[in-house]
Chain A
C-alpha cells in the first residue's frame, strides 16, 4: 500500500510537471516591439540617415558663414528738445500783466512781442534812469563848460577836476541804471533810446519779446495777473531742434560709444523708425533708474517726433572682425555641451562639440570647434539629434 501510494504520487507529480510546462510564459508582444531593427544602424555620437530620409525631412547642409555680426541692445527713452532751443520767460520784478500777444501753440519769431508787463518797480527804475540821464547831461554840460573855460584859463584846474569827477560819477550812475537794471529787466538799447520819446504814462511798461524762434508751449499768465519774480510766465521752444534721451542699463554700458548709430522707434508712430547718433553720454549713473543718460541726435525726419514722446532706442554695434556664425537651429544642446552635426559622408552625420559666443537675430557665433569648410547641418538638426538619442529616450509615455 505504501509503495503503491508512492508510485501514485510519483505519477501524479509527473502529471503536475507536465501541466506546469504548459503554464504560459511571458508575453511576446508582436505589436509592442519598436522599430529599432528597421531603422538605420548607429552607435555613439554618429547617426546614419539614408539620402531619401535626409531629403524627406528637409535637412539643409552647408558651411558656416562668416559675417561681421551686428549686435544691439535696447534702451527706453523719450524725445527731448535740445536745451539750446528752449526759452523760459519770467520777470525779475513784481508786476502786472498788461497785454498778451500770443497763445499756446503760436509760432513766434525771435523778437516778436509776447506780452507787456506793468510794474511800479519798472517805473521807478525808468524814473531813476531818466533822472540819472538828466544828471549826466547836466554834469556833462557843466564839465564841458568848465573844460572850455579852463582852456582859456578862466577856471582853476581844481574846478575842472571836480567837474570831471562829477561828470564821470553821473556817467557811471547812468550806465548802472541803464545797463544793469533796464537791460536786466529786458529793455533793449532801442527801448532805452526811445524811452524819452515815449509818453510819460508808458514809462512803467515792459514789452517782452521772444528770445528765440519757436512755439509757445507754456503760458501761465492771464491778463491783469500779478506776477512775482518766481513765476514761470511763458516757454518758447524750437521743437525742430530735438534730441532723444535714453537710459542705458549698466550691463550695456561697455558697448556704448559717442557717435554710435542707433535706431529709434516711437510708440506713437508705429511702423516708423529713425536713425540717430549718440552725441553725449552722461557719465553719472542715475541712482533710481540705474541707468546712464544718453543723448541722441536724430538725423532725419525729426519733425515728426514731438518732445516727450516715448521711444525705444536700439543701439547697434558690430564685432570688430568677421566671425563664424551658424543659424541657431543648427546648434544643439545636451545639458552641458553645445554641438553641431557634421555631414561626414553621404549618409553619416557626426556630432561635433563647439563653443558658442553671442547670439543675435537667430545667428550664433561659433568660437571654437568648427572649420570653415565643414559641412554642417544647418536646419532641422533637432531631428538628427532625436535620432541620435533615440536609443536612450525609450518609451517616454505617461507611465
Chain B
C-alpha cells in the first residue's frame, strides 16, 4: 500500500507537482478565509431566556416567570442543565445543551417550548425573549459616544436610534447593547394633591391617556375613479398633546392632564450606567458578535461602519471605541506567528548544519509550509478557527513535521551517495530508497498522531481549549506524511538527477568523536548508569508534589478589569459614586490609558449584573511604557490603592476571562458546595453553617457564601378587614402601589422610526420615602380617599437579592479554594464533616462541584485514554519489531522522558497544568520515535551479523545524527515559544518548557541508557 503510493508518485511526477501546487493554492485560499480568533471559544452551548419584569421583586419573578419557563424546558433532548437567576425585575433562564448540539437547533427547541411557557406567565408581567446568539467571547467591540454639549438623554437617543440601528446591519453582528445614559420617556408626573382636589383617580388618568393615542385606518373611498385612503390621525406627538388630554369634565369645565401633572421628558428607570476617566457618565454600546463568525472580519466591518456613522452623526458627536478584541486577536496570533516563523528558521538552521547540504535542507524545509497549509485546508473544512491554541499546535508540531521528510531525504541521499549513482539513473535508486523508509515514516508519524489522541477525548473546557491543538498537529502531520511519501521523493528526482556525493560533515564527525568514547564508558558501567537513571526518575517523580498546579494558565488579555462588589442593598447611585471615586485613583497609574466603569447591567440580553456590581475596565498602555515590572505587581498596587474603600470586594480579572468563567459555571473557585432546598432563610442559615464548617477544614482558603439575601424591601400588606369595611378590593390598592409608586407605561409616542414610552407615575416628592408611601391616597368606592397606611401594613424587611436555581431547585453555593492539600482528600473530609455537623431538614441536600468536577472528569478521562494510547503504541511497536522486549525497551523511554520535563517545570517555577500535560504527551511521541530509530537500527545490525557491542556502538554512531536532529528540531522549534512574552505565550510556555526539558533527558537516555539496556533485552531475546 505504502509502496504503491510511492511508486505511483514516482511514475506521475508531474501530477504530484501539480497536485502539490494546487494544495498550496487551496491552502492559501483557506488561510485567507479561515476565521481568526484570539482564543478557542470555550463557551458551552447555551440558550438564555431573558424576561424583563419591571418593578417585580425576586420572589415574584421566580414564582411567576422563572418557574413556568423552567418547567417548559424540562425534558428537552440533549439538555445538560437548566439554571436560572431571578433578581429584581429580571429573570434569566440558562439552558445548557450538550456540546454536540447545534446552537440554532437548540434555540429552536427552546423557542418552541417558550410558546408554551408564555401562556403560563400572567398577562402583562413580562415577555420572555431569547438572548443574543453569541458567546463569552462575543463582546468584541465596545464604544462610547463623545458629544460635548449633548445631554445623556440626547446621546442615548442617538445611540439607540442611529448608531445601534446602523451597527446592527453589519454582517456578523448579532446585536448591539446600549449601556448607560438616559432613555428618553414622555413622562406624566402626577400630583396626587391636585388629583385629590379635582377628584380624579389614577385609573381615570391611565384610561384617558390610553384612549387618546391611536391612529386608525378607514379603508378608502373612490373619488373620480381614484382611490383615496382614509386615515384617522390621533397619535400624540408632543408633550403638548399629552398635556391637552382631557381627564374629566367638572361643571362643564374640562380638567386636562396639565392641570394635575407635570408632563416632561424624563429618563427611564435604569439599572445600569457607564462612566469613564473621571469625566462622569457616558453613553456606551457593546457590539455582540454572532457565534462562529470571524472576529477580525466582524471588527473590521464594524470599524468601517463606525466611520460611516461618524460622518452622519450630528456635529460634535463621535463614536469612540474603548475596547476592541481585534488588538487581542492580532497580538495572540502574532505571538504564534512569530513563534512559527522563528521556529521555522531555527529548524532550517539545524537542517543545514546536520544535513550539510543546501538541496536536502531545501527539500525538507519546503515541506514545512506545505504541511502547515494542509492543516489550514482541513481546519477550514472542519470549520475551526485559527487562534492561539490551533496555531499553537502548528508551532509545537513544527519540529515533528519535518521528521518524515528528514528520514526520506536522508535515506535517499545515503543511497545515492553510497552507490555513487551516475546522473540520469537516479530514479530507480531514489524509488528504492523511498520504498525502504516508507513504512517507518508512516509508523513514526502514526505514533505522533496517536500520542495526541488523549487530547481529542478531553471534554468541556479542556477539550475545547486543547482539541484544536491536537487537530492542527494531526492535520499538519498528515500533510507532512503525504508530502514525505510523494512530493519529497519526486523533488529529489529533480534535485539529485545528477547523483549525490555526500561531503564529510564536520559537525557530525565532531559530535561522533565526543559521543563514542562516552558511550564506550557507559557500556562498561551498565548497572551504574541504569541505577542512576532510575534514581533520577524517582527523584523527579518525588518533585511532582512540590509543583504548583493549575488548570490552565490565565491568558493575558492585555486589558484588566476589576469587579467591584458592593453590599447587596447598595443603590445604583452609591455604586456609581464609589466607582467614580475609584477612577481617578486608577488613572493616576502611568500604565493606564483609560478607565471605564460599567455599573449594573446593560440592556436585556447582556450580563444580568445587579446594581451593586461595578465592572471597571482598565485599558493599559503598551508594556514598554510601564513603570512597574509585571502585571502582577501592577495588580497588587492597584488592589492596595483601591482597598482603601471599605465595604467593597475587589476581584481583579479580565473582560473575557470573567465572562467565560460566568458562562461556564458561575462559580469562580475550585470547589463549589451547593445546598439545595426550598426555604431561602433555611438555605442562608444552613449555608452559613456549612461555610463555618468548611472554613475549619485544613486547606480551605477564600471560603465564601453566595449572597442570596440582603436586599431591603418595603412590604405593603393590604389589610383585608380594613379594605372590606371601605368596600374596596385588593386590586385597587395594588394598582396604586404599581403605578403611583412604580409607574406604568401607558402608550408610546412615535417619532419617525423612533418610539418613546409614555410613562405615568407620581411626582417624586410624593413617593420617594416610606413615610410618603404610607400617606399615598387610595380612592374608595364612596368617592373619598384614604391614606394607604389606613388600609395596609407597611414594614421594612431584608429580603432575597436574587434567587438562583439549578435544575428547578433553589440553591445557595459555598465556594472555596483548596491550598496545600489534595482536592480529593479535602472533599472527602468536607463531606464527612458536613454530614456530621450540619443537620439538614428533610428535602435539603448538598452537591459538590466546581472545577473539582473538571479535574475529576479530566482525570477519569485521561486515566482511561493514556494507558490505552500507550498500549496502542506498544502494539504498534510490537507489530513492527515482532518482539515484546524491543517494544518494551522503547516504551521505557516514556517514563524516562518525564525526568527532564518535571525538572524543567520545577526549575522554571511554572505550574503543572493542562498545557504542561500536553507537553508531556508530545514529549512521549518524540521519545518513542528516537527509541524506534535506535533500536530498529541495532536490530538491523545484529541481523547483519555484528556482535552485540559492535552493533550497539556502530548503530549508535550512525544514528547519532537522526536522533540529535529529531530532538533538536523538536526542541528548537519550541524555543521561540519559551522566550515569547506576547499575548497568549503564558499558555504555551509550560508546554514548551516540558518538551524542551524532556527532550534533553530523553535524548541523553536514548543515546546512553538505551544502548546500555539493549544488551540485557537482547541477551534473553526470544523469538515469537
Instruction: Identify the closest chain B residue to A21 (Cβ).
Output: B544
Determine, out of B320-328, B381-389, B564-572, the stretch whose residues face the partner at the interface.
B564-572
Task: For the complex formed, measure the closest distance between the CB of A29 and the CB atoms of chain B, giving whole angstroms.
Answer: 7
Q: With A and B bound together, what is the CA distance between A23 and B782 in angstroms?
A: 78
B301 an interface residue at 8 Å Cβ cutoff?
no
Pick from A5, A251, A310, A395: contact of B704, CB below 8 A. Answer: A395
A1-23 interface bits toward B, Cβ cutoff 8 Å, 1 = contact, 0 = none: 00011001001111110111111
B34 an interface residue at 8 Å Cβ cutoff?
no
Q: Which 4 A-B pairs have the closest CB atoms?
A: A386-B647, A335-B798, A25-B549, A386-B567
Contacts of B797 in A (CB 8 A): 335
A76 touching B657, Cβ below 8 Å: no
A395 touching B858, Cβ below 8 Å: no
B524-566 interface bits toward A, Cβ cutoff 8 Å, 1 = contact, 0 = none: 0000000000000000010010001111101000000001011
Contacts of A53 in B (CB 8 A): 644-646
Are A12 and B644 CB-contacts (below 8 A) given A249-B790, A288-B782? Answer: no
Contacts of B712 in A (CB 8 A): 333, 335
Q: With A and B bound together, what is the CA distance between A31 and B651 in angstroms?
A: 7
Q: Which of A331-352 contact B (CB under 8 A)?
A: 333-336
Pick from A39, A78, A312, A395: contact of B706, CB below 8 A. Answer: A395
Q: With A and B bound together, what is the CA distance between A385 and B671 in angstroms?
A: 29
B612 an interface residue at 8 Å Cβ cutoff?
yes
Extra inter-chain contacts (14) besides given A35-B639, A394-B707, CB under 8 Å: A14-B895, A16-B870, A18-B541, A22-B917, A24-B912, A24-B913, A26-B551, A31-B651, A53-B646, A78-B197, A267-B194, A310-B193, A394-B706, A395-B706
B823 touching A26, Cβ below 8 Å: yes
B51-67 interface bits toward A, Cβ cutoff 8 Å, 1 = contact, 0 = none: 00000000000000000
A-B residue pairs in contact (CB < 8 Å), sample of 6: A11-B891, A21-B544, A26-B550, A28-B550, A382-B647, A394-B706
Pick from A18, A34, A249, A387: contact of B650, CB below 8 A. Answer: A34
B852 an interface residue at 8 Å Cβ cutoff?
yes
B870 touching A35, Cβ below 8 Å: no
Q: With A and B bound together, what is the CA distance between A8 and B884 in angstroms?
A: 9
Q: With A and B bound together, what is the CA distance between A31 and B650 in angstroms?
A: 10
Pick from B570, B601, B649: contact of A395, CB below 8 A. Answer: B649
A392 an interface residue at 8 Å Cβ cutoff?
yes
B551 touching A24, Cβ below 8 Å: yes
Contacts of B796 in A (CB 8 A): 333
A23 touching B786, Cβ below 8 Å: no
A399 touching B895, Cβ below 8 Å: no
Pick from A12, A18, A35, A76: contact of B874, CB below 8 A. Answer: A12
Are A19 and B775 CB-contacts (below 8 A) given A27-B551, A386-B646? Answer: no
Task: For the complex formed, measure the closest distance between the CB of A262 and the CB atoms of chain B, giving whole angstroms.
Answer: 16
Determine, out of B70-78, B514-522, B602-610, the stretch whose residues face the partner at the interface.
B602-610
B891 touching A15, Cβ below 8 Å: yes
Contacts of B610 in A (CB 8 A): 396-398
Contacts of B640 in A (CB 8 A): 38
Contacts of B635 in A (CB 8 A): 31
Task: For the complex formed, measure the closest distance between the CB of A270 and the CB atoms of chain B, giving whole angstroms.
Answer: 12
Contacts of B702 in A (CB 8 A): 33-34, 36
Instruction: Identify the closest chain B residue to A55 (Cβ).
Output: B644
Instruction: Identify the closest chain B residue to A289 (Cβ).
Output: B784
Contacts of B891 in A (CB 8 A): 11-12, 15
Instruction: Identify the closest chain A residue to B567 (Cβ).
Output: A386
Q: With A and B bound together, what is the CA distance between A26 and B702 in angstroms?
A: 14
B548 touching A28, Cβ below 8 Å: yes
Q: With A and B bound together, what is the CA distance between A269 and B566 in angstroms?
A: 45
Name B's A-contacting residues (CB within 8 A).
85, 92, 193-194, 196-197, 541, 544, 548-552, 554, 563, 565-568, 570, 574, 601, 607-610, 612-613, 632, 635, 639-640, 642-654, 657, 661-662, 666-671, 688, 702, 704-707, 709-710, 712, 771, 775, 780, 782-787, 789-790, 796-799, 801, 804, 813, 815, 817-819, 822-823, 851-852, 854-855, 858-859, 862-863, 866-867, 870-871, 874, 884, 888, 891-892, 894-895, 898, 911-914, 916-917, 920
Task: For the complex formed, measure the closest distance between the CB of A191 and the CB atoms of chain B, giving whole angstroms.
Answer: 39
B550 touching A24, Cβ below 8 Å: yes
B888 touching A8, Cβ below 8 Å: yes
A57 an interface residue at 8 Å Cβ cutoff?
yes
Task: For the complex formed, measure the closest distance between the CB of B835 and the CB atoms of chain A, giving whole angstroms.
Answer: 23
A176 an interface residue at 8 Å Cβ cutoff?
no
Q: With A and B bound together, what is the CA distance between A56 and B635 in angstroms?
A: 21
Contacts of A76 in B (CB 8 A): 193, 196-197
Contacts of B911 in A (CB 8 A): 28
Instruction: Identify the closest chain B residue to A291 (Cβ).
Output: B784
A399 touching B565, Cβ below 8 Å: no
Task: For the complex formed, measure the closest distance between the CB of B790 and the CB atoms of chain A, giving whole angstroms.
Answer: 6
Pick from A19, A32, A36, A392: contact of B707, CB below 8 A. Answer: A392
A398 touching B646, Cβ below 8 Å: no
Contacts of B863 in A (CB 8 A): 16, 20, 23
Contacts of B643 in A (CB 8 A): 35, 38-39
A233 an interface residue at 8 Å Cβ cutoff?
no
A250 an interface residue at 8 Å Cβ cutoff?
yes
A52 an interface residue at 8 Å Cβ cutoff?
yes
B653 touching A32, Cβ below 8 Å: yes
B644 touching A56, Cβ below 8 Å: yes
Q: With A and B bound together, what is the CA distance between A312 and B878 in angstroms?
A: 102
Q: Chain B: interface secondary structure?
A: mixed
A390 an interface residue at 8 Å Cβ cutoff?
yes
Contacts of B609 in A (CB 8 A): 397-398
Q: Which of A349-396 contact B (CB under 8 A)?
A: 359, 382-390, 392-396
Contacts of B855 in A (CB 8 A): 23-26
Instruction: Identify the closest chain A residue to B726 (Cβ).
Output: A290
Pick from B92, B194, B642, B858: contact of A310, CB below 8 A. Answer: B194
B565 touching A397, Cβ below 8 Å: yes
Contacts of A34 in B (CB 8 A): 649-651, 702, 704
Task: For the complex formed, measure the closest distance between the CB of B828 and the CB atoms of chain A, giving whole angstroms.
Answer: 15
Contacts of B608 in A (CB 8 A): 398
Instruction: Identify the closest chain B residue to A392 (Cβ).
Output: B705
Contacts of A19 in B (CB 8 A): 862, 866, 917, 920
A44 an interface residue at 8 Å Cβ cutoff?
no
Pick from B613, B789, B884: contact of A4, CB below 8 A. Answer: B884
Pick from A49, A267, A384, A398: contact of B613, CB below 8 A. Answer: A398
Q: With A and B bound together, what is the CA distance between A334 and B684 in angstroms?
A: 14
Contacts of B704 in A (CB 8 A): 34, 394-395
Contacts of A30 in B (CB 8 A): 554, 632
B917 touching A24, Cβ below 8 Å: yes
A47 an interface residue at 8 Å Cβ cutoff?
yes
Q: Which of B552, B895, B916: most chain A Cβ within 10 A?
A: B895
B784 touching A288, Cβ below 8 Å: yes
Instruction: Identify the closest chain A residue to B607 (Cβ).
Output: A398
Contacts of B912 in A (CB 8 A): 22, 24-25
Task: For the complex formed, measure the closest distance between the CB of A309 and the CB atoms of chain B, giving whole angstroms.
Answer: 10
Q: With A and B bound together, what is the CA distance between A7 and B601 in angstroms?
A: 62
Contacts of A388 in B (CB 8 A): 647
Pick from B646, B662, B798, B898: contact of A399, CB below 8 A. Answer: B662
A74 an interface residue at 8 Å Cβ cutoff?
yes
A287 an interface residue at 8 Å Cβ cutoff?
yes
Are A24 and B914 CB-contacts (below 8 A) given A56-B644, A251-B787? Answer: yes
Contacts of B570 in A (CB 8 A): 382, 386
Task: For the complex formed, measure the closest distance between the CB of B441 and the CB atoms of chain A, giving whole angstroms.
Answer: 26
Contacts of B851 in A (CB 8 A): 26-27
Contacts of A22 in B (CB 8 A): 544, 898, 912, 916-917, 920
Instruction: Identify the closest chain A residue to B878 (Cβ).
Output: A8
B652 touching A31, Cβ below 8 Å: yes
Pick from A31, A56, A249, A333: contact of B787, CB below 8 A. Answer: A249
Task: For the complex formed, measure the closest distance between the CB of A314 and the CB atoms of chain B, giving whole angstroms.
Answer: 12
B85 touching A399, Cβ below 8 Å: yes
B866 touching A16, Cβ below 8 Å: yes
Contacts of B568 in A (CB 8 A): 393, 396
B651 touching A386, Cβ below 8 Å: no
